[in-house]
Amino acid sequence: MIYLDNAATTRPLKKAVADATRAINELYYNPSALYAGGIQTHKEISKAREELISLIADERFELLFASCGTEADNQALFGCVGRGNFVTTEGEHAAVYECAKELKRRGTDVRFASLNRDGSVKVEELLRLVDEHTSLVSVIHVNNETGAVNPIAQIAEKVKKKNARALFMSDGVQAFGKIPVHLSGNIDLYSVSAHKIGALKGTGALYKRKNLNLSPYLFGGGQEGGKRSGTENVFGILAFASAAKQTFSSLKENGARIARYREMFYEKLDKSVFSRISPQEGTPYILTVAARGLRGETLVRMLSDNGVYAGTGSACSSKKPYSRVIEACGVEKELLNGVLRFSFSQETEEREIQEGADIVNRVVKEYYGRMG
């Protein structure tokens, strides 16, 4: 099997699982307990927290653990959007986009900026939507369906110049551990997810500027400084920190290698069939194409039968007939149904690239043959 759907989830790194396994055997105590085992477990969580902060931020930030990137997004939006308006983009992940729709239903003035062809936001349009009443602006860092990278540091700076009181948030799930990231002082909130970088499902985090007043999303025992109640997922947190350290230690080398693999894969695809949607300057880890006159869902099933796992876009919105994000990019209607997203990880091998592209071309020919 050749796995090329890593933007949906990655295979856990062996070292990350091994490093966290002692949480089951040795650190099974409740981190809030006052006896020695609980105190030691709490210390391990604090160490993991500080390690994750140091990878992309500085002492101006703190980190709240969550169950996933979706929860982190929800906490940021529902905890910070106040009176006034909320500005975001048409290219957001469902975890932000659906929150925006709910906020609108509750009476918030929600404003959506449109997209460029590659899935990046039209920055000048976004800035025109920001005014003195804007409470929060949210711009995805890496578009999870096209791989386009939004320059969030520059966008945040321009937002703050227009309204210094507006908060700036970014969903960094597809950026963290894949492209260089450093949170500037103009970025207030940044969400990440463990299972996108070789850790485990069930763990995410929200980077938060320390002096930012964030309302709790979950109430209970007062964990995470009272901002996110619930007994901590010790195993998931330790696996997350381990995978992140391993990933960031070779971030530049992996990025260069995967970028080469991505272009190698695209060059082998049949250009009479596939049109490229992903920009070359986007994340190395995503290649989205569209097959004219074919159905992406059918291609995914046929590829699976032939040993290649790929996706049609965001796994969190796979029930849609076609992607609202790709449609917002202005992709022609005859291509919308034929979208395929191939996504890679630090463990992707050149052999998988070569063999995978050959299988894709062969399956496409078979598909056309069935159509007669």
Catalytic residues: 316
Q: Decide if 98 contacts 70 (C-beta within 8 A).
A: no
Amino acid residing at 143: N
For residues 138 and 207, what is the distance between their CA atoms, to the nearest angstrom?
A: 14
Is there a contact between 173 and 69 (Cβ–Cβ < 8 Å)?
A: yes
Residue among 190, 183, 194, 172 at smallest CA distance from 241: 194
Contact 289, 266 (CB under 8 A): yes
Please state, in angstroms and as integers, the Cα–Cα distance from residue 290 to each residue in 120, 313, 326, 338, 341, following that order.
Answer: 18, 11, 10, 5, 9
Phi, psi of 162 (to 5 degrees): -80, -35
Q: What is the Cα–Cα distance from 207 to 214, expressed in whole angstroms?
A: 11
Residue tagged 């759907």 (tokens):
5
**Cα Rg, the chain, nearest whole Å:** 21
Q: What is the DSSP string of 44-99?
A: HHHHHHHHHHHHH--TTEEEEEESSHHHHHHHHHHHH--SSEEEEETT--HHHHHH
CA 184 to chain centre: 19
CA angle 112, 150, 160 (to 5 degrees): 70
CA 270 to CA 110: how far, in whole Å?
A: 42
Tokens found for residue 293: 């006159």
CA 99 and chain centroid, separation: 16
